[in-house]
Chain A
């Protein structure tokens, strides 16, 4: 039976659709190994002393929240677990809402954490690299108030923070520009603050070279898999872990499709040659 190219395409989409939907409905519970990149990112937070003030920059928007939001929740939870304090900023306008949503979810398990004492949302600032450079000189100048309009001086946890160098570690969760690269270039390479981060799977290969001997990046969370690895390290089954079953099934299916395609091309060429 000969299947037309159009029908073949639709068939592939339908099978893929079902293959992704089924594990979401009936979770399989496959385990994933921890990669070196995730372990380094985890260790940075784990080994930072209690009371450290960390900065998480939410440099993404809802279009990539499937991959990025689990990373944000895992890193906030990790910081809270280690009694560290978190400053949230955003180089993307909708990052502010992403931060609010992530904190809202984590706070359900940490109801004793207080706004202004344990965490603060400074909101969005335009400017990318220039803004980070200005934060390196004076954080208050860049953020005179927090997202809600409270003056910088009136936020207790910010009394200890004047500039980027006063921050223990920085994480940029980034799905484009401005984002992780700008944080590496300025916060790490110019001011020497340890920078880690997460990105969508599609940009991960571009960031791996920064995890090097120079420690431009302290590990990297690349896509949903890394988010699920981070959740495993925290010892919990989070949203990324449940989605990884669907991811793995889809990958296997694509491998099968590629193999079938190659066999088909091989057979067609052989027939033509004969």
Chain B
């Protein structure tokens, strides 16, 4: 039975992969069917996942096994129920409170972390002696890092009209930005081709047994 189910799974997977690929030719019923099944399955999967991986272990199990020791969990449970009030127009306003708490908490937690990791540490990482590197390549890299950062940030400085001598760092900043966009595009191509490789490996290997 397991063998049959595995085989069925592989054939279904191949069918859906080919159905999705068929969109490259033109929009068609096979593509639409695969797309709708994917949306429906994803929604169902997430619902089941939330119940079994989040609600039961983090709330229900704890309350059932030790109710008095986990009284604090009633607060998030109540906030969760308040969030569900959004479904009914007359009680929709109640959901604003849990949303407000969520936004406030997330902003509070994230602000400190982002400030340290994305601003302070990143700025500190550019405060280096460029000539301390052991190789010529390292020195050039360090210089590019400092010049690129300064010019890139300057490009987004809008309080003074960028003309004449003031436009030079901005123009250099554009070059750095363009090169980074090019690198990002290259990496995007690599990621997309990887997805295609993954699917073709499945079709040629697991399905057709050619590799």
Interface contact B197-A224, CB-CB below 8 Å: yes
Q: Secondary structure at chain A's binding surface: helix, strand, loop or mixed?
A: helix
Question: Does the CB pair A251–B193 fall under 8 Å?
Answer: yes
Query: Is B88 part of the binding interface, using a Cβ–Cβ cutoff of 8 Å?
Result: no
Q: How far is the CB of B33 from chain A (nearest CB, A)?
A: 20
Tell whether B73 is near chain A: CB-to-CB under 8 Å: no
Q: Is the C-beta of A47 less than 8 angstroms from some C-beta in chain B?
A: no
**Interface pair A130/B122, CB less than 8 Å apart:** no
Q: Which of A19-27, A37-45, A49-57, A158-166 contacts B (4 or more CB under 8 A)?
A: A19-27
Q: Which of A24, A189, A209, A212 contacts B204 (CB 8 A)?
A: A24
Of B128, B190, B191, B198, which is within 8 A of A65 by CB?
A: B198
Q: Is the beta-carbon distance between A201 and B53 smaller than 8 angstroms?
A: no
List CB contacts (< 8 Å) of B196-211 with chain A. 196-198, 200-201, 204, 210-211
Q: Which one of B2-10, B92-100, B154-162, B181-189 is at the interface?
A: B181-189
Flag whether A223 is at the interface (Cβ < 8 A): yes
Q: Does A13 contact B (CB under 8 A)?
A: yes
**With an 8 A cutoff between CB atoms, is B124 at the interface?**
yes
Number of A-B contacts (CB under 8 A): 114
**A residues in contact with B166, CB < 8 Å:** none
Across the interface, B53 reaches (CB within 8 A) one of A25, A124, A212, A247, namely: A124
Docked Cα-Cα span, A143 to B189, in Å, equals: 38
Contact present for B197 and A24 (CB under 8 Å): yes
Chain A to chain B contacts (Cβ below 8 Å), 21 pairs: A10-B24, A21-B200, A63-B195, A67-B194, A124-B53, A129-B109, A185-B113, A189-B113, A189-B121, A202-B188, A202-B192, A212-B122, A213-B128, A222-B187, A223-B187, A224-B190, A224-B194, A224-B197, A246-B200, A250-B193, A250-B196
| With A66-B194, A214-B121, A247-B190 already in contact, 6 other A-B pairs whose C-beta atoms are closer than 8 Å | A17-B200, A20-B197, A21-B200, A24-B200, A209-B122, A254-B189
Residues of B within 8 A of A (CB): 24-25, 49, 53-54, 58, 109-110, 113-114, 116-117, 121-122, 124-125, 128, 180, 183-184, 187-198, 200-201, 204, 210-211
Lowest 3 CB-CB distances: which A-B pairs, in order?
A66-B198, A212-B125, A202-B191
